[in-house]
Chain A
């Protein structure tokens, strides 16, 4: 801690000897000139400050900036530097950058008391532009590294499995050019459909934020963001034209509580739309494209219920890293496709309703969008980040996992991928889903095969690669 410099600002007494601090906010308002620090006093203050053994400089407006370490702060200014501690996913952190609270009392030493009016610790202002790093907040949440670790993706990265040469498409609300993505040098292509424009504009923040889940898992994949408004068939067709290996979709209709016959009678327009989507999706899977859908946040969601689609549900992660079925994620038996159980397996989805948040993820979003500042303290609400989750997050996480699997063995078929991921999960035995289904030991309706362990899946994919070469 002693090596880290702390910055103080000293304000010399004024030309007129009018106290700045005593006059602050009081009427009558004086001329600003009255409060200008006297140059002679500033120079004298600098000399005396340097004599205390700290680094100090005079600024253009006759103030003094001082750089000192924690020991000097204690010895000279009688103030204590306390490291700020935080906790995240079962591990304690000391935030190196936050040595001293801005509320710390600073006492001027006698040597400079005559010429300096007061000293203060400059606090960080709030910048109204997206930050490339997630802000530190004390409220429990996951960050994208936690998502990677919890799905066991960091072990894949150490093996060199990072999704290189794998194309992952995502159809969503837009994909903003957030500094977070640029700082990671991700390979991102943003495209619009014939009915959308400006794919880098994302008024919701949903697409931008959730896409970070793919890239956290598969940082070297070629990511293709397709801006989707309300034309799902067009979005999927546009995504398929980009020739992806995987398409992830965090949307659907809350419709799977009736049979196809009932739907055709009750809502023929929607029936034909869903038939069209089903045709596009099944053809894509036949062509070897892995289609991933969110199972829904308490929805009975189509297209996630199409049997050959990978349907992703949710498990929440608490501060100790413990898993339980998320009370926000769907689990149901399809009516459109009898005997189809949703989900197939799970990614991370927050637990809803009772603070503290469980499993919500800090995600980058564009300034001014609907999700900016979500679940954040007010003073951190305009930094281009939000804390949210849902099966919308779980689906791109699993798409990222699939990109890792394909970087191990690019010949895997969609069905083989589904089987490998199902066979290598971590069993989730606690918790109840949004549909009131309890998680149990073994495969169950609540979480399907369980929580994805992508490293175990990659090892299995590697073994299959050695034992069996399959032409794609």
Chain B
């Protein structure tokens, strides 16, 4: 499973809810919606089939296609990366 965020063309909670409902109909696990987007857990097969994702050797998304039913509302999808915490040990 991958953690994915769908980001919207507009910052709009209603739009996020609508996108979330469409994704749920496609049996995708939506666990949060906000004005900034929709948070989902998705398996690799669904990611490839529904979003036409291409992954590189490190399993990072390098290309995707927004499905027709979402393309007026959705700008992009991404998988969050781990940031560095700026601690000083030496």
Contacts and interface: CB of A to CB of B under 8 A. Distances in A.
A273 interface: yes
Contact of B77 (A252, A272, A283): A272
Interface in A280-304: 280, 283, 294, 296-297, 299, 301
Contact of A230 (B31, B32, B78, B80): B80
Contacts of A173: 85
Given A269-B78, A276-B5, A232 B88 contact: no
Interface residues of A, number: 51
Contacts of B32: 194, 234
Interface in B25-73: 31-32, 34, 36-37, 39, 60-63
A230 B84 CA distance: 9
Nearest to B63: A268
A253 B88 contact: no
A218 B41 CA distance: 39
B64 to A, nearest CB: 8
A253 B83 contact: yes
A225 B75 CA distance: 31
Contacts of B79: 269, 273
Given A194-B39, A234-B32, A237-B34, A276 B78 contact: yes
B84 A299 contact: yes
A283 B11 contact: yes
Contact of A388 (B11, B60, B88): B88
Pick the most buried of B7, B75, B80: most chain A CB atoms within 10 A of its CB.
B80
A200 B63 CA distance: 38
B62 A279 contact: no
Contact of B88 (A251, A269, A352): A352
Contacts of B88: 297, 328, 349-350, 352, 360, 388-390, 392-393
A98 B3 CA distance: 54
A46 interface: no
A206 interface: yes
A232 B90 contact: no
A71 B67 CA distance: 87
Interface string A252-263: 111000000000
B81 A253 contact: yes
A232 B80 contact: yes
Interface string A444-463: 00000000000000000000
A389 B84 CA distance: 15
Interface in A344-375: 349-350, 352-353, 360, 371, 374-375
A283 B11 CA distance: 10
B65 to A, nearest CB: 12
B76 interface: yes
Nearest to A234: B39
A270 interface: yes
Interface in A164-215: 172-173, 194-195, 204, 206, 210
A16 interface: no
Pairs of residues from A and B, 4 with the lowest C-beta to C-beta distance, nearest first: A390-B88, A230-B82, A272-B78, A392-B86
23 contacts: A172-B85, A194-B31, A195-B3, A204-B85, A206-B85, A210-B87, A229-B82, A232-B80, A233-B5, A234-B32, A237-B36, A250-B87, A251-B86, A270-B78, A272-B75, A280-B36, A294-B86, A301-B86, A371-B87, A388-B89, A390-B86, A390-B87, A392-B88
